[in-house]
Amino acid sequence: MGEKRIDYRIETFRAFAILFVVQSHMINDAEMASAATLYDYVTQFVQNVRLPLFTVISGYLYGQRPVGRGRFTMFIKGKVRRILFPLFVVSSLEYLTVSLMPGVNNPERLADIWKIYCFPYEHYWFLQVIFLIFVIVGILDWAGLLKRNNFLGLFFAISVALYLFYKKLGMDLTFFSLGTVTYLLPFFLFGYISSSRAELLGKMVRSPFLISLLVCGILLQQLDWFFDFPYESSKRSIVGIMIGLSGTALLLRHRFRLPLLSMLGSYAYTIYLYQGFGNTLGRRIVRTLPDMSPHLYIALVVVVSVLFGVMTDLIVRRIPRVRTLMLGLK
């Protein structure tokens, strides 16, 4: 097999997504009080693209190297190593830190640590969901079903329906974030279709249509926020999926490379894994500085958190076995 090629335009968008994710976890800090309205607006504005973009990219990259017959076991082993090993390690480290370190507000009960391996915990629910999606899509691909356009189209339509109506079904499948699979599955499938059926999709869905859909979705979103129109515009709504699918489709279709961000994007996974520690370190460092504006505060904390993730990656990947447990690398 040839060497895996890196698309630095994809990495650029992965960097944008991780920066928005890190930023979103600090808008409730006391230092942000004077600008809370602005940053809450920004966070809500990008919520329909932030994690969907991560997921679309995952589906797009998977579509370039799908599971073939005879490779399913190897594929699952790779995802266990790459996703579940780091998930177990980093969630355990964070839980133990919150449980045992002095000076922590609302410490966790150590006896309840088992729950983090079975149910959503902090932002690590995303890793549970993406692993389940890989398993589901891998099985269907291994069986040859996703090679059939009719089946793939039907499966995508069902995923959109579940995205919209899952909560109305009255189910609460929280074990290993199973129910939340319905939130991200359509975006993964759209990324997969964009990669494996690029020519067909390009003929069926043109950029002017996507731009119109995105503008319409954003307009409906703003009307809902500022005039309280009688419909939902957040995630799991028709408006939300309009923005999520059209926005990520346009980014994929007209992608570009920004050198610094494309380099940062290759560390996005580690930054996501260890952002809890990076955010905590950033807050403690920045709070030792003189009073500053909330804009400078959030910028500095994001920088420290990102640098912490990059340094963690650079250091840990040099240590055999530890790099497997902490980063999922061979």
Q: Where are the domains of the chain?
A: 8-13+48-268+311-327
Contact 273, 90 (CB under 8 A): yes
Within 8 A by CB and 6+ apart from 293, the residues are 35
**Would you state the pLDDT for residue 2?**
41
This prediction's pTM:
0.93
Q: Is the pLDDT of residue 198 over 90?
A: no
**Would you state the pLDDT for residue 235?**
87
Q: How many CB atoms lie within 10 A of CB 44?
A: 15
Backbone angles phi, psi at 95, to 5 degrees: -65, -45
Contact 93, 326 (CB under 8 A): no
pLDDT digits 0-9 by tens, 26-69: 888 889 988 988 988 888 888 899 999 999 999 999 998 888 76
CA angle 111, 113, 116 (to 5 degrees): 150
Q: How far apart are CA 281 and CA 275, in angstroms?
A: 10
Compute CA distances 130 → 95, 135, 199, 286, whole Å.
21, 9, 26, 33
Backbone angles phi, psi at 100, to 5 degrees: -110, -25
Average pLDDT, the chain: 91
